[in-house]
Chain A
Amino acid sequence: MKNPFEGLRPALQVIVSEGKVLPATGQAVEDLMRPDHAEVIDSLRMGDDKLMEVLLETPNRKPYVELKPVYRAERHPLRYFQDGSARTFFLGDVTEGVRRSPINVAQIGAAAVFRKDNGQVNVYHAIHQIVLMMDKKAVSFGDRVEELVSKAGARFKFHDTMELDGETERTSPGKEPRSRAAHKAHHLMAQLEDELGRSLPREKGQWLVLDGSLGKDLHSWRDVSEFIGVTKSFSKDPIFKIPGARGGQVANLYDLLAGLPFSARTCAFSARSGKIAVWYVRLREQKHMDYPLMGVIKVEYPNPAAEAIPSQIIDEISSALVAERQVTPHGKDIRWHAHLYAIYLAEQAVKNGFVSTEALKAGLKWPTQTAGVTVS
């Protein structure tokens, strides 16, 4: 089998010959993010929407709406499911005089699966990239490294860890380059997801379900219709004003979801000045769960017009989502209770396209320097 990282070898050779490399102990080390990254992202993206008091649907004014699961044999709106994944590895630091830069390699990817009438799922498309990341301006040979990677082939990309993108600065505040790498990788992954999501040949009525909270990319998706974002690990910060007698009551997320019955949704709240409708759907009975927040998903529905959304649409989507509770990735993912299986499959399609950690460690080695000669 050919070394999948062969394309990066010339760039690594330049780094070795031009600077002094302090390799990571042993081989490449996976740079893990916090496991609840999705929750962090959701929290950050919620921004100022700490208090959700405006209902963004009509005519429903009730806090909870019971749903009858709608299975695909009856109606089958949710057809495409998309997910992305990023895995970042720290290769070491390169120093040049007093300046230094961490060197990271990320495997990023996105995949969309399509569900047929019989429920079988096929991968519609999957994209994978290998990205070499460093602080380009910290060393004099940054441009040469970038150039060499750009010549390595379409699968390889170079990215400047310190380049501003507006997103990483929010998710990973601070200037430390190594800590930015994993967030940068996620940002690049989001770009792949954007590219993939737009390219799907969806017919009218074929909804796309994105994994995770809808980010700023939403603005560039004005022309894309019929999609939702589904979050399984969401921010616990928001406060809700639940409609009811005497002007309703204010509740935190725990209170809101504790009262949410099985196979039901909350009313849809306005977020980001009405550009997004947010509601929660309970997929699993509370008696089977350890905790009221388990078995619940957060749904985000883009609403560029910022006008009240017909409750019927929200009910239809939510009913279809309740039907997604069978089957689950139980035993494979600790978030199984809120994981949509089709999304899980998309995630697997991405991850299965990654080069294994073992192969990466074996394939990504610093060229050895012996008596001033670089040995490849």
Chain B
Amino acid sequence: MPDETQAGEESAVNRRVVGKASATEREPNSSEKFSFWLRAEEIVNPFDIVEAGQMADTKTFGLVTNIKQVTDAPSHLSNYISSDFGSTEGEPQTPRQGANVAEVSVLANYDPSEPKRYPMGIYMPVQSDSPIRFADEAGIHVALGIDKMFEYEKEYKEKVTIPAGLIQMSNGTKVRVYLDKRYVLGPEGAHVNIAGISGLATKTSYAMFLIQSILQTVGAKDIAVILLNVKQNDLLVIDKPRKSVKPEEHELWEFLGLRAKPFENVRYLLPWGKETQTTGVPNCFGDLPDQFQTYAYSLEDVVGNRANPGPGLNLLIRVPDPWDTLGALIGEVQQGVSNQESKWKTVTTWDALLNGPPLMDRGIPQGVGEVKASSVGRFVRILRRVVKNRQSGLFVQQRAPRKACNLGEEIRKIQGGQTTVVDIAKLTDEERALVFGHIIQEVYGMYAEANLEDRPDLPKKVIIFVDELNKYAPSHRGDSESSILEYVLDIAARGRSLGVVLISAEQFMSEVHGQVVGNCATKVIGRSDSSELSDASYRFIAQDVKAHLTRLDKGELLLSHPIYRQPVKIEFPRPAYQSIGHERTG
């Protein structure tokens, strides 16, 4: 916990007045907003947090949302005429009178007196001519509601503050911001969603930073982490320190009360590929981690058996099925194979399922139960494409347990303090859906159905990180409809009480199912374009603030958290592991 002086105590004397509140006939100040004019040469930026003198010697904090320059020119034509009828030469003898005026959204009111005279705060409009200063760190914590987290920690002796990054203000002030554990890992709220343009929003880096921050501050021993690697070998070297961590990066980590270190106790699960049988090399990008396991799917792994139900064939069939014909057939197949019913006894491999009875007879589809032969033919065509023709090698006829593991079994082995990376970077979309679906099914099953007495070794919390969430929980049901959606919705809705936390990322939040986004208590947004921001998913951001999101720099993010009264712009240190496998430890 940083040294918390009373908000604003560094005080007036040291912090200069940068301007004064201004209320006019047309733009009055209100309980929610106020404006202030800036002293000449003074610079503020959107997202700076300022402190205004308020009635009864209290202070009102606000977030700068926009800055305008007002002049006494009633029209652009007047400026044109004033410039000697459009002359671009020379400088005006008397520059036009103008003032920079900042618009501010009220965050909080702070009463430094003890006991508080106004327990509810004073939300009178900031009075015209009230002095405005940059807020200091303690003030910003009050403004955002972070001070309440410190009060809770003090009262209940429980660590709840998770460093989330820092706010850099125009006057050079750096302020640590924290997330409240109760709203990240449950039970009050859970889940983090990160959106933004690929390559600029640094979504994966922020997720990794946040997970590190969670592990380092609120109990690594009780938390298991499952990461899905979707791009190159980005997350396949997270246990290796990054060689090029600069001293200033170390300082930044330390400023946040964290250590710049790679992940510890990591195990890697890499997919089986077409060449793996002969080369022994899994189907992944870049150099292999020092230690890893390979996973593959035989028919039994997908369908499952009585003791261990598999993820199900339905995860592989991602086509519209309005009459549930395919669903009925999948049910028949699942039941027959897993129960080893008489006519399905010979069906032990993918080839047997796709080419032999009871679905096929000498290349001709056969009706199964009430499902007609034509629908069976469709099912076989789709499944053949997924597990045979277009597969990456993940699907095997028979899985040799010594060479490749069952992913579900490995997921069930997760432990607190352990990070499991499941590589899906080279898999097809259907295979990715299967793997992700399998993981969340297993985790959900473990936590939803577990009796703590039966599983004392079960980590208290499990964090699952997945990129491209829109593929698994799309906002519109369509061609790529996935039955994973149901599982994702369950996790989103019940995860906070179960202890299953989804940290997800995607380019466009608008493409993710509304219920999933809605259940994410913490939202992080990187650079996004204006058309995306016009979507209803971004309603929680004020219109003025949205405009600034289109020009966030790489590494700058907008952070919205239930405790905060307004979203804030943050920066964060780069992860200290080898974020891209191209870098070598040397």
Contact = CB atoms under 8 A, between A and B. Distances in A.
Interface stretch (B93-101, B218-226, B273-281, B403-411): B93-101
A115 interface: yes
A326 B74 contact: no
A121 B97 contact: yes
B82 A326 contact: yes
A20 B319 CA distance: 94
A33 interface: no
B72 A328 contact: no
Interface in A267-293: 285, 288
Contacts of B97: 121, 345, 348
Given A120-B40, A288-B85, A325-B84, A330 B93 contact: no
Interface string A105-122: 000000000010001110
Interface string A323-347: 1111111111000100001100100
Nearest to A113: B94
Contacts of B93: 71-72, 119, 323-326, 341-342
A342 B94 contact: yes
A344 to B, nearest CB: 8
Q: Which secondary structure dominates where chain B touches chain A?
A: loop
Interface residues of B, number: 21
Interface in A111-148: 115, 119-121
B92 A330 contact: no
A73 interface: yes
B244 interface: no
Nearest to B74: A331
A341 B94 contact: yes
Contacts of B85: 285, 288
Secondary structure at the A interface, as helix, strand, loop or mixed, is: loop
B82 A327 contact: yes
Contacts of A323: 93
Interface in B42-98: 72-75, 77-79, 81-85, 90-97
A326 B40 contact: no
A327 B92 contact: yes
A327 B93 CA distance: 7
Interface in A285-337: 285, 288, 323-332, 336
A119 B91 contact: yes
B78 A328 contact: yes
Contacts of A121: 94, 97
B78 A120 contact: no
A40 B75 CA distance: 31
B77 A327 contact: no
B75 A115 contact: no
A71 B83 contact: no
Contacts of A327: 73, 79, 82-83, 92, 94-96
Interface in A74-132: 115, 119-121
Interface of A: 71-73, 115, 119-121, 285, 288, 323-332, 336, 341-342, 345, 348
Interface of B: 40, 72-75, 77-79, 81-85, 90-97
Given A324-B94, A331-B78, 5 more contacts: A119-B93, A326-B83, A327-B79, A327-B92, A331-B77
